[in-house]
């Protein structure tokens, strides 16, 4: 059976996948491109936000943006 940890990881993945779809839709609807997408961190370097995507020198953020960019094509 699925452990609580496995369920939490699956839930997080679903939230991120849903967010990718939402952000891509909002960018399209507003005539914006991937370069218009910014992190809170881009304005306020003291705050590592979104933190769950800041691991490994923002590897998570870069992967997140790449997935959104594929949705924009």
Q: How far apart are CA 28 and CA 11, in angstroms?
A: 26
Q: What is the pTM of this model?
A: 0.84
**Per-residue pLDDT tens digits for 6-61:** 888 889 899 999 999 999 999 999 999 999 999 999 988 888 888 999 999 999 99
Q: At what angle do helices 4-29 and 55-72 cross, to 10 degrees?
A: 50
Three-state secondary structure string covering 4-73: HHHHHHHHHHHHHHHHHHHHHHHHHHCCCCHHHCCCHHHCCCCCCCCHHHCHHHHHHHHHHHHHHHHHHC
């Amino acid at each position: 059976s699925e452990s609580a940890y496995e369920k939490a990881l699956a839930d997080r993945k679903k939230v991120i996948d849903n967010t990718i779809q939402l952000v891509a839709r909002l960018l399209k609807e507003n005539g914006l491109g991937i370069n218009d997408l910014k992190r809170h961190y881009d304005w306020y370097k003291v705050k590592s936000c979104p933190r769950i995507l800041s691991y490994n020198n923002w590897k998570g953020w870069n992967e997140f943006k790449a997935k959104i960019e594929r949705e924009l094509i």
